[in-house]
Structure 1
Amino acid sequence: MDKIVQISDIHFCMKDKSHSSRDNLSLVLNKINGLYHEYILVLSGDLVMKADSAHYMALYQYIRAFTRNEIYAIPGNHDDIALMKKLAIQEEFFKIQDLLEIGINDIVFLDSSEKGEHLGGGKIDLAYFEAIKSKLRENSNKIIFIHHPPFKIGAEWFKKICLDNGDLLMKSLSEINNLKYLAYGHCHNYFIEERENTVFLSCPSSWVQFDHTEHHETKYDQQKEIGFNVFHLSDDISHETVTISVC
């Protein structure tokens, strides 16, 4: 397998058939299948509008109608990681794990769903992250998936709901050899920057984007494209962000 596709912030709504999360997700999945046959799918948090078994299972079955490829999921601030883990044990469901090895690549899945100081923010258990770090291969290429951005970014209101202990995580990240990407969600928009040879990349929401030019309150940009990220694995790792018009 040489491709990882990241979808984020689906906010799947099970009952309201008019909710655009369903149709927009189908646009994304159809686009992915039109481009690629085999890939690993990573859902980087905020999977559902309501974190209950019915919504999670409905989302799983909805995606399974489009692909039989492996699907990994990490939680966002709207998710219930305990329930996700329970479903992964009891049902046919998304894979929930910390680390995946693909050839010379180590893929890390982090949980930032612990509640932050502000509603919507998150924290990471740094001891848990250090335990994962100890399992990484020294010379592997590495990608980390997490829901919350590890530094302040975007609109002023949004900066309050990034990762609360992001400074400590960034310090720990700097000790990792060959960390090629840290890919996150939560922003409902596309941001990219490179720091010390690591690309920090957000994933557009598959549902709707935030207008980050509005600094005082949450505002949706209904005209902005939805999308997903694709990571191409080889001797190195590259990426592309694919967007889809919803107008």
Structure 2
Amino acid sequence: MTFALAASAEMLFRELPVVDRVRRLHELDFQVEIWGWSTKDLPALAATGATFSSMTGYLSGDLTTTDGIAELLRTAELSIAAAEVIDSPRLNLHGTGLDPDGLPVRPLRPDEEVAPGDRERAQETLARLALLGERHGRVFTLENLNTAVDHPGTPFARAEDTLALVSAVDSPGLRLNLDLYHAQIGEGNLIELLRRALPWVGEIQVADVPGRFEPGTGEIRYPAIAAELRTLGYEGVVGLEAWPSGDSETALERFRASFA
């Protein structure tokens, strides 16, 4: 295997306290993803000995408005400090802030396009975040989302959008968090997407469609994805960001088998 496997402590072993979820994933030899860090006991998470793959890289803000940009940059700096506690190498971003239900705080209407100039402002903001990441030895990752099922109205959501922004910035401090679950719903053609996006990928996340369950429960042929990643020489992290269709350990076994 040329890549490492990680799993979300937010979506697996939810019957346990977060620190015990992290410990269990570590015992099962997975790296660990967390989302919002501000409500977590970071020293306790660090004490588990787990290797953290990624965490959310902001608390609030957006990529395009004056106040939103200032808030995004401010809370990204706080997130950098938090990342140092658990030594998370990657800090995840979205096209705009998301509320607790995963809905965008500044949504677009179904018939609304990104406003003129917003793409340029988003690119400039991401370039500033990339410099921040470089200064601190961390990488910000911009995640694609789907707007049909989970995150309606999110700007800069499609993998095409995130790839265009990240490749335009073209900095080691900014990479893609390429989520194949979201891409399958929004765009499909996953192997071709991997081939085009790989130079800018910082991490890959997976779940099956429909249902956002573990690989092997839906329509995506993840063993074919794994084979293509090996052919392409991918050496990064593949993270399971999925709800377990049954118990968490079985879901993790299916995930590991799909990428064996």
The answer to which structure has the higher helix fraction is: 2
Same fold (TM over 0.5): no
What is the TM-score of this pair, normalised by structure 1?
A: 0.41
The answer to which structure has the higher strand fraction is: 1
